[in-house]
């Protein structure tokens, strides 16, 4: 068998083997096969008990094991954590028409997870049935029917500016009177918003607002929320515990059908779907069977615009290299390049010679050079947050634990021009703050440990004891309390800072809802919030009670003790009256966001050949 193995770049190579007696003694032979196809190993054995008795010798080399028993196919992580039973849908996606029970008496299935995804056969990966670009073959009806257009915006690398370009294109095409929807097959972010049907990443939420559409979960069908030791996977807005238990290689096959259905559902209802890619569309280790780049472009029969960050230097080379690495069929989908984030004070003519060369070797247009723009949209990840201070009149410290979530709600403060946000990661960062915020957290127990390890826990307690204002939000509310208990096994158990007498219990059912929240009568440092109503949202597993502190909003939604205020809802800083009450900032966050959308659309007209973009997107 090893002599027939091929390093094919696949994510999962499925090899149906005859019975393998005395598996432990044949470990070297099997590992030779693994090395031949350049993959880590996942091994399926007929009986789950055999994993310990027969496959022990392979355990050190394995990502985990697939095992068969009466319940079907299960995934057993190599670290001895709890197994995850695959649903019939997952099993079907992994094995195709073959059911585990059909493998045969004593048979074993060797599943090899490779360095780059490739679950498609060559025929499946190549669309040979494309007709006119104005029509598609409907997977539901089997007939040819008119369809909407789609446009993919992907980048030569992460942080090329795809997110705000999709936002800008969404407003631009919406201004043309089109029904526009954003789409990203899979997003990785702890910043999420509650929409129709559950949660989506904040980027697609903002893009939907730019498109003047009501956000819904199909715009981001798979959302991955990182936490210590793994991640939570949300499918169509809701936590999927079985998929979350699987390694990333096994998540993709069952997720693809859901991603594809969401994409086609949006295409059926809109004139244009603007699709955001992720990372690089040509990265060899991520190329095949991805959920966000060229597979989506093939599925939607969509033209692709390739974006590179020209401000870093090498943008033209990045464009050519990415285009050149793509297989020929996918390369044909790329219709142009955008050089993005060029220095605001630079002369774009500097790039003319490079642009001409790129157009000559690819026969594709460079559609323009977009400068750094003075518009700010909410960030998706904490790596984008600067610790530097602009030395403004006021200073607000947000405690930036590694699993901080939903920090996009502080954008109105950072763009106010009057208040600095310091992302506090060590005790000295709290010095001089007139407000300390404990933000949301995707992993409250890990955040509590981090606070203790960094010394911030003691400094925060001292800050509170000295009368400094502390505002705790959602996970921060739980951290500000006494304890959190997790019998549902969704987050973990631990001790809080003890700033408030709050005890939290995690429940399996997650609260995901929007609402209007009105503060009761407050005194002292929070007096100006009395009677103010905040439109916000809740995302939480926790339910909290107090033993002695005042519940300022009924239903366990907000608690206060003198200078410490804790709320379960997000959105305080996105409400004009609350923003002024807490920090004295006079702003209209929603109006400011609308002006940002309009400004981004105007910038496209100023710096890109939008007539050519319209021809590419709309035909």
- Give dist(CA 602, CA 168) in Å, integer: 8
- Give dist(CA 234, CA 25) in Å, integer: 41
Q: Is residue 570 among the annotated active site residues? A: yes
Cβ proximity of 27 and 17 under 8 Å? no
Give me the long-range contacts of 53-61 (CB less than 8 A, separation at least 24): 54/22, 54/23, 54/24, 55/23, 55/24, 56/24, 57/23, 57/24, 57/27, 58/23, 58/27, 58/30, 58/31, 61/31, 61/34
Q: Residue 209 forms beta bridges with which residues? A: none
- Give dist(CA 107, CA 45) in Å, integer: 8
Residue 14 is inside which H or E element, if any? Answer: strand 12-17
* Phi and psi, residue 447, nearest 5°: -65, -35
- Give dist(CA 535, CA 524) in Å, integer: 24
Chain centre distance of CA 564: 32
Cβ proximity of 485 and 506 under 8 Å? yes
Instruction: Please spell the DSSP secondary structure of 566-594, one letter per residue.
Output: EES-B-GGGSHHHHHHHH-----HHHHHH
Task: Using DSSP, state whether 323 is helix, strand or coil.
Answer: helix
Q: How many CA atoms lie within 13 A of 604 on its CB side?
A: 22
Q: Residue 195 forms beta bridges with which residues? A: 198
**Nearest-10 Cα torsion for 44, 47, 48, 53:** -100
Instruction: Report the 10 Å Cβ neighbour count for 379.
Output: 19
Cβ proximity of 46 and 70 under 8 Å? no
Q: Is residue 148 among the annotated active site residues? A: no
- Give dist(CA 503, CA 559) in Å, integer: 12
Cβ proximity of 160 and 280 under 8 Å? no
Pairing of strands 41-45, 62-69: parallel
Say which of 232, 319, 403, 474 is annotated catalytic: 474
Residue 356 is inside which H or E element, if any? Answer: helix 352-362
Say which of 264, 318, 403, 570 is annotated catalytic: 570
* Phi and psi, residue 288, nearest 5°: -80, 140
Supply the DSSP symbol for 58: G
Cβ proximity of 191 and 406 under 8 Å? yes
- Write out 451-516 in H/E/C secondary structure: HHHHCHHHHHHHHHHCCCCEEEECHHHHHHCCEEECCCCCCCCEECCCCCCEEEEEEEEEEEEEEE
List all residues 6 or more positions away from 228 whose beta carbon is below 8 Å from its beta carbon: 402, 403, 443, 446
Burial class of residue 534 (count of CB atoms within 10 Å of its CB; 0-12, 13-18, 19+): buried
- Give dist(CA 243, CA 241) in Å, integer: 6
Which residues are tagged catalytic? 474, 570
């Amino acid at each position: 068998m090893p002599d027939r193995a091929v390093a094919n770049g696949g994510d999962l190579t499925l090899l149906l083997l005859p019975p393998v007696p005395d598996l432990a003694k044949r470990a070297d032979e099997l590992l030779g096969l693994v090395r031949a196809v350049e993959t880590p190993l996942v091994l399926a054995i007929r009986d789950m008990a055999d994993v310990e008795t027969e496959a022990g010798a392979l355990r050190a080399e394995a990502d985990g094991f697939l095992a068969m028993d009466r319940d079907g196919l299960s995934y057993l992580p190599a670290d001895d954590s709890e197994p995850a039973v695959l649903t019939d849908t997952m099993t079907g996606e992994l094995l195709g028409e073959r059911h585990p029970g059909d493998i045969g008496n004593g048979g074993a299935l060797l599943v090899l997870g490779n360095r780059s995804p490739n679950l498609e056969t060559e025929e499946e990966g190549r669309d040979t049935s494309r007709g006119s670009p104005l029509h598609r073959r409907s997977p539901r009806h089997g007939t040819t029917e008119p369809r909407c257009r789609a446009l993919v915006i992907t980048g030569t690398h992460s942080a090329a500016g795809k997110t705000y370009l999709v936002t800008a294109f969404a407003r631009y095409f919406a201004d043309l009177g089109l029904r526009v929807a954003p789409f990203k097959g899979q997003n990785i972010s702890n910043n999420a918003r509650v929409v129709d049907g559950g949660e989506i990443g904040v980027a697609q939420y903002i893009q939907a607002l730019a498109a003047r559409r009501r956000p819904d979960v199909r715009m981001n069908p798979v959302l991955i929320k990182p936490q210590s030791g793994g991640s939570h996977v949300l499918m169509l807005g809701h936590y999927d515990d079985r998929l979350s238990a699987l390694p990333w290689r096994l998540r993709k096959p069952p997720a693809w059908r859901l991603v594809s259905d969401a994409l086609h559902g949006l295409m059926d209802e809109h004139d244009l779907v603007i699709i955001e890619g992720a990372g690089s569309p040509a990265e060899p280790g991520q190329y095949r069977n991805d959920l966000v780049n060229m597979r989506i472009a093939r599925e939607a029969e969509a033209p692709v615009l390739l974006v590179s960050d020209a401000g870093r230097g090498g943008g033209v080379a990045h464009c050519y290299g990415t285009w050149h690495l793509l297989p020929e069929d996918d390369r044909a989908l790329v219709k142009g390049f955008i050089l993005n984030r060029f220095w605001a004070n630079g002369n774009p003519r500097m790039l003319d010679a490079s642009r001409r060369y790129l157009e000559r070797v690819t026969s594709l247009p460079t559609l323009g050079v977009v400068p750094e723009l003075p518009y700010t949209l909410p960030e998706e990840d904490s790596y984008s947050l600067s610790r530097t201070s602009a030395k403004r009149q006021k200073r607000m410290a947000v405690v930036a634990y590694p699993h901080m979530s939903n920090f996009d709600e502080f954008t109105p403060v950072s763009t106010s021009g009057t208040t600095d946000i310091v992302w506090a990661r060590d005790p000295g960062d709290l010095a001089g703050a007139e407000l300390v915020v404990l933000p949301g957290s995707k992993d409250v127990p890990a955040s509590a440990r981090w606070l203790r390890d960094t010394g911030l826990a003691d400094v925060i307690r001292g800050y509170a004891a000295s009368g400094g204002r502390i505002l705790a939000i959602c996970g921060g509310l739980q951290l500000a309390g006494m304890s959190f208990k997790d019998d549902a096994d969704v987050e973990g158990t631990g001790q809080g800072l003890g700033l408030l007498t709050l005890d939290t219990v995690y429940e399996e059912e997650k609260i995901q809802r929007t609402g209007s929240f009105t503060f009761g009568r407050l005194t002292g440092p929070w007096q100006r919030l009395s009677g103010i109503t905040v439109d916000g949202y809740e995302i939480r597993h926790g339910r909290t009670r107090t033993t002695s502190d005042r519940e300022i909003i009924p239903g366990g939604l907000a608690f206060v003790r003198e200078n410490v205020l804790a709320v379960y809802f997000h959105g305080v800083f996105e409400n004009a009256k609350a923003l002024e009450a807490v920090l004295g900032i006079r702003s209209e966050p929603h109006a400011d966001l609308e002006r940002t959308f309009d400004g981004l659309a105007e910038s496209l007209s100023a710096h890109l050949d939008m007539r050519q973009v319209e021809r590419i997107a709309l035909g």
